[in-house]
Amino acid sequence: MRFLIHMSTSEEAGSLARMLRLWTWSTCADMETELWSPGASGPAIVIWDLDAGLPPSGMVSSASTALLVCSSRTQAAIDSYSLHPDGFLQKPVRQSALFTALRRCAKLWWDSLERLEITSDRCRIRLPLCDLVWVESTRRNSLVHSTQGPIATREALTALEGRLPRGLFLRCQRSFLVNLRHVRRLDSEGLCMSDGAVVPLSRSSRSEVAEAYRQFCLLWDGGKGDGETRYG
């Protein structure tokens, strides 16, 4: 699965490519980002700048392709109806608006998601990594908190940690591991997660966790300040 980019300038294409790489990493999706070229085909999400002209007729002609259009002209949103796009993005494209548009294309990239296989009550569950919110240790077992609900497994937290990508998943202390993408803020109580839970921090771990979260926020915001994470 690929992202195909067609923008007016190389600077705009570069900015969009950086946002897409961040989305791919934080969503744990196996997606490539390429510049569009004539003859490009196959499963793809195409992002097309209408300021550079209309896309070729019939470019988006199958259920395996989605079209996101963008322009600096608000009128272009109405003009693009004939193209039946999956979303319209106002230029300059903001990270939050792009990520919202990508959620509407989930049926295309869903199969590209990396998954964690968990055994629970003799059932095998293949959980998309982006749906893993946090994990807590329960003696020799673990309780995985996901967007789909809690999943109990006999696998130790350390073993689970070893199967997750570093940088995105953080062992914040001995008994807890969090997906930094699901942290909404860090306060005096601990890490406030997207599911409403608060993961407590010990005094010894707080400084290191705070720095890791600060670095993640800097990466996520990318200097634009339009992400959801908050530090302080």
Stretch 151-165: mean pLDDT: 95
Instruction: Say if residue 196's pLDDT is above 70.
Output: yes
Q: What is the pLDDT of residue 232?
A: 42
Instruction: Say if residue 38's pLDDT is above 90.
Output: no
Considering the entire predicted model, what is its pTM?
0.89
Query: In whole angstroms, what is the distance from residue 164 CA to residue 115 CA?
Result: 10
Roughly how many angstroms between the first and final C-alpha of the chain, as a whole number?
37
Stretch 217-229: mean pLDDT: 64
Q: What is the pLDDT of residue 63?
A: 78
Lowest mean pLDDT among 4-18, 39-53, 56-70: 56-70
**Residue 61: pLDDT band with limits 50, 70, 90:** low
Q: Comparing C-alpha atoms, which of 57, 51, 32, 218 is closest to residue 109?
A: 32
Instruction: Say if residue 160's pLDDT is above 90.
Output: yes
Residue type, 199: V
Stretch 127-132: mean pLDDT: 97
- Choose between 42 and 210: higher pLDDT: 210
Residue at token pair 């996520």: 220
Q: What is the pLDDT of residue 60?
A: 67
* Pairing assessment for the beta strands 2-6 and 44-49 based on DSSP bridges: parallel
Which ranges of the chain does DSSP label H, i.e. alpha helix? 10-27, 75-79, 95-103, 106-109, 157-161, 203-221
